[in-house]
Amino acid sequence: MQRLHILVTNDDGIDSAGLLALRRALAPIGDVSIIAPEHNWSVCGHSKTMDRPLRVREVELADGFPAFTTDGTPSDCVSLGVLGFLPRKPHLVVAGINMGANLGEDITYSGTVAAAMESLISGLPAIAVSLTRGEGWGFGPAANFAAHLLRQVEHFGIGGDVILNVNVPNVPIGQITGVEVTRLGKRLYKDKLIERTDPYGRKYYWIGGERPGGEAAAGTDIAAIDQNRISVTPIHLDLTSHRLISTLKKWGLDGWNPRKE
């Protein structure tokens, strides 16, 4: 059987220590190719570059491992890898280890999860791995769990229509209480609009605030992280509200006649 080919990327940029830790942990499992952005794209969402060409450079990671870096987005990194930049097409994508959690609605902002989504759109399964904020950045448990999970994915298979979104509590290894398969929770953002005046008398605005909280409902990724458990949330891209389909059908929208307006 052909050796597993893993494309590793991130949104924190090619110099991130999280990328380095992930690459090292996955190396025993398969051939790792790295294509990561030149700079930090955190909170870029699923952006794709269409209005300019992409440049790709060959670089070395801090441990000497060869890698590619581009001026494109995390999603572009996956497109490059899948559409033929690499001599061999990857079997799957692993994005991370992100510096900061991606819980609940965070996934709609996350460049890490966007890279995984791009992989899914290309028909390849993907894993997104994030480490919550804490004191310093101990990537060991997150990297080791990513390797463990990848072995399970290789053994059991997950199909090409799902992402596994993994969040790891940033605590000493002895304080991690387990692993939980979860659903997405509800984030509570604390953003405020701050209005200030620039030196030329013009108003400008900043949107931001304290770190978000969340509703720690049982079974959610937010509750698992609250209790120092690793969360694994399967995600797909069908955002259809199946609940509302039958309701909307009763509105008679199909009877609207454009010629009668």
Strands 31-37 and 66-70: parallel
Identity of the residue, 39 or 89, whose beta carbon is nearer to Mn ion in the bound complex: 39
Least gap, CB of 242 to Mn ion (angstroms): 32
Identity of the residue, 37 or 81, whose beta carbon is nearer to Mn ion in the bound complex: 37
- Residue 144 neighbours by CB under 8 Å, 6+ apart: 25
Identify residue 12 by its one-letter amino acid code. D
**Which residues of the shown chain bind Mn ion in the complex (CB under 5 A)?**
11-12, 42, 98
Least gap, CB of 141 to Mn ion (angstroms): 18
Strands 66-70 and 56-60: antiparallel
Least gap, CB of 102 to Mn ion (angstroms): 8
Least gap, CB of 40 to Mn ion (angstroms): 7
Identity of the residue, 131 or 232, whose beta carbon is nearer to Mn ion in the bound complex: 131
Q: Give me 21's structure tokens.
A: 């830790």
Which of 102, 112, 95 is closest to 46 using CA atoms? Answer: 112
Least gap, CB of 67 to Mn ion (angstroms): 17
Identity of the residue, 110 or 233, whose beta carbon is nearer to Mn ion in the bound complex: 110
Identity of the residue, 98 or 182, whose beta carbon is nearer to Mn ion in the bound complex: 98
Least gap, CB of 253 to Mn ion (angstroms): 41
Identity of the residue, 30 or 110, whose beta carbon is nearer to Mn ion in the bound complex: 110
Q: Where are the beta strands (DSSP E) in 198-228?
A: 203-215
Nearest residue relative to Mn ion (C-beta): 42
- Residue 207 neighbours by CB under 8 Å, 6+ apart: 191, 192, 193, 194
Least gap, CB of 203 to Mn ion (angstroms): 30
* Other Cβ atoms within 10 Å of 65 Cβ, number: 14
Burial of 210 (0-12, 13-18, 19+ CB in 10 A): exposed
93 vs 80: CA distance, rounded Å: 12
Helix, coil or strand: residue 101: coil
Q: What angle do CA 150, 92, 184 make, to 5 degrees?
A: 65
Identity of the residue, 113 or 124, whose beta carbon is nearer to Mn ion in the bound complex: 113
104 vs 222: CA distance, rounded Å: 7
